[in-house]
Structure 1
Amino acid sequence: MATDNERKFEFPAFDDLPSIDGAPKGCLWGFYDRDGVKDEVGSINLLTPTVVQAAASSEIRTGRHIQLDWPLHSLSYPGFGRKEFEHKVISLHDGLDIYGFDDELHINTQSGSQWDGLKHHASQEHAVFYNGLKFDDALKTDANGIHNWCNRGGIVGRGILVDIRAANWSSDIKPRYYEYKKKVLPSGFSRYEIPVQDIQDALAYQGTKPRQADILLVRTGFIREHNAASDEERLTATRKVGRTIGVKACEETVRWLYSQHFAGLVGDTVAFEAWPPEKDNQWVLHEWALTWWGTPIGEMWDLEALAVECERQNRWSFFVTSAPLRVQGGIASPPCAIAIF
């Protein structure tokens, strides 16, 4: 039962959403605003105490738990000129005569497992972020920073895995999804676009029913492929060519994602959607999710052990906790995410 002060969210149909100047039909700006204050949290608003309590009650059954962060050093060649991860161990014995260590990390928050925050990727046509924050204003303000998620208590709720690759499914439980469908999923190092129909079919085949406010996780096998690849293959995939597998960015996908009202979209590949975007495509998922809806995108999460555990338990839903870095005005963060069964 919702508390007296807890908000209930009932969404209009996509085509019934009000028109907003400078935004496409389907934009949710203002939907989460309250008492005249512009929202800076986006779809994380859907994770109300009632939703979280229901998720914990239904999903935490065995106590088994899995961290979903890819090790920080794993992405050998970050794209877009981003700095590679650095880890320096410092001896406290040098100068302080203490037996112990500190360490220092240098990370670009886009160079590994991450949440994209709501001022990471703007509408490229309009130079505007979620809820109308203009690029020039974003340079001078902490608005839409990831600290808003932290101030709200982090990100917790029900997660569902769509195991598109399904490489770990054993025949005594269910056949591999793509084999069952007589399909072959191309390399994670190709710009293969996964159609939303395949996601819907996989959910049905798994017996997984999405709920409003779920966190959707899509496993393509990119992490597994990257882990097994040669140095040259990694360099080519993420830096020289920069083409990677992902969900197809098109009207059908956008409309289906909107109809589900997910709290977050997560993948194990570089950009959740197939990358790079097609030129002049008005359905780029980064813009629809981050800019028009305020829905965070998780990228390069390690879903390998999660897929094995889902297979073992023969269920693809679980409780998720995520504690982003508490950085005022932050743009992105490692998810520090755990799936609990």
Structure 2
Amino acid sequence: MPLPTAFHDIAARVNNWGRWGPDDELGTLNLITDEVVRAAAACVRTGLRIPLALPLRRQMVQTGAIPGRIDPLHVMVQVNQELFGPGTVACNDDAVTMGLQAGTHWDALAHVSRSGLLYNGRPAGTVTAHDGAAFAGIGTVRHLVSRGVLLDVARAHGTDRLEGGHAVTPEDLEAAEELAGTRVRAGDIVLVRTGQIRLCLDGDRQGYAHPSPGLSIRTPEWFHARDVAAVAGDTLTFEIFPPEIPGLWLPVHALHLVEMGMPQGQNWDLEKLSTACGETGRYAFLLSATPEPFTGGTGAPVAPVAVL
């Protein structure tokens, strides 16, 4: 099914190809300058540190709907093993098998292609079964620290959790911005809270998956106008699911990752952060969120920490 004209029109308006040069692999992360990070550090008032990652364990987020994206399978490979003979120091080692996008993670720009092209017009064929992503893989992101801003859309609607099927609009983002008392600015990492992850934390994995609230196809232009560096949310699909436009699957993924070159994150636990921001009245903070540097990866786990 061809992409509708409305999608192509938005894509043309938000496209960043060539903005940072023909060989650029970082996209909007280029907006996080030294000055942006210095300003982000000034957000720290109390030193309160809030983890934003889900625990990595079996039967956490994944439901089997996405082939191969499995929750972590953790095994011990050494248990109190005296490697150098009896009476020597004993070691415990473990191993894990998991989908790189299974838990709290960032999607790399190479995660999605459109019409045979990745971000910056590179061929989708640069992602191969043997080597993974040769261009714009997650391994190119070696540091990711900036000012984070929580846009608590659920609280702005006067609820703990948006219902499935709620499309988060630019108007919703601006209402959450007003609640936060701060304006999203260039180089920020925006965290969009719907409260949907509360279902997952309560053990309702199927309810967490479908249907899901999420970003509307109208929001990429809002993020583009603000020069946002990256966006993360607290849902499995990131954007509204099922889609707003029947048959148009994952359009926000394509607009963010392919056209804008803007990383996006899923399955972030924003509940404790929401409480802390509400209690302090401060919704901007220093955010450390560097992904694991898997060479060739199209995504990677992250253990983000907000510092207020």
More strand by share: 2
Q: Is the 8 A contact 1:270 1:300 kept in 2?
A: yes
The whole-number CA distance in structure 2 between the counterparts of 1:155 and 1:199 is 23
1:327: how far off?
A: 1.5
Which sections of structure 2, spanning at least 5 residues, go unmatched? 1-7
Cα deviation code 1:267-298 (max 9, x no counterpart)? 00112211243345499211111000110001
Q: Is it true that 1:215 corresponds to 2:199 in the alignment?
A: no
TM-score scaled to structure 2, two decimals? 0.86
Instruction: Indicate the residue corresponding to 2:5 in structure 1.
Output: none
1:237: how far off?
A: 4.8
The whole-number CA distance in structure 2 between the counterparts of 1:312 and 1:116 is 31
Cα deviation code 1:249-271 (max 9, x no counterpart)? 23xx2322211110001100112
1:88 is aligned with what amino acid? V
Q: Is it true that 1:246 corresponds to 2:232 in the alignment?
A: no
TM-score scaled to structure 1, two decimals? 0.78
Instruction: Indicate the residue corresponding to 1:308 in structure 2.
Output: 275
Q: Is the 8 A contact 1:208 1:316 kept in 2?
A: yes
Q: Is the 8 A contact 1:249 1:283 kept in 2?
A: no
Q: Is the 8 A contact 2:32 2:146 kept in 1?
A: yes
Instruction: Indicate the residue corresponding to 1:272 in structure 2.
Output: 238
Aligned-residue CA RMSD in angstroms? Answer: 2.3
1:60: how far off?
A: 1.2
The whole-number CA distance in structure 2 between the counterparts of 1:283 and 1:117 is 15
Q: 1:85 to 1:219 in 2, by over 3 A?
A: same
Q: Is it true that 1:30 corresponds to 2:18 in the alignment?
A: yes
2:176 is aligned with what amino acid? A
Q: Is the 8 A contact 2:14 2:220 kept in 1?
A: no
Q: Is the 8 A contact 2:161 2:196 kept in 1?
A: no
Instruction: Indicate the residue corresponding to 2:112 in structure 1.
Output: 121
Cα deviation code 1:4-51 (max 9, x no counterpart)? xxxxxxxxxxxxxxx9xxx73431100011xxx510011111111111
Which sections of structure 1, spanning at least 5 residues, go unmatched? 1-18, 167-176
Instruction: Indicate the residue corresponding to 1:47 in structure 2.
Output: 32
SS at match of 2:275: helix
The whole-number CA distance in structure 2 between the counterparts of 1:78 and 1:258 is 33
The whole-number CA distance in structure 1 between the counterparts of 2:39 and 2:14 is 29
2:78 is aligned with what amino acid? S
Cα deviation code 1:182-213 (max 9, x no counterpart)? x89643xx232122211111211331211111
Q: Is it true that 1:131 corresponds to 2:120 in the alignment?
A: yes
Q: 1:276 to 1:133 in 2, by over 3 A?
A: farther
Cα deviation code 1:285-334 (max 9, x no counterpart)? 11111000110001110111111111121111100011211111211011
Instruction: Indicate the residue corresponding to 2:3 in structure 1.
Output: none
Selected match of 1:228 from 189, 202, 212:
202
SS at match of 1:100: strand
The whole-number CA distance in structure 2 between the counterparts of 1:269 and 1:282 is 16
**Farther off after superposition, 71-80 or 316-325:** 71-80
1:324 is aligned with what amino acid? P
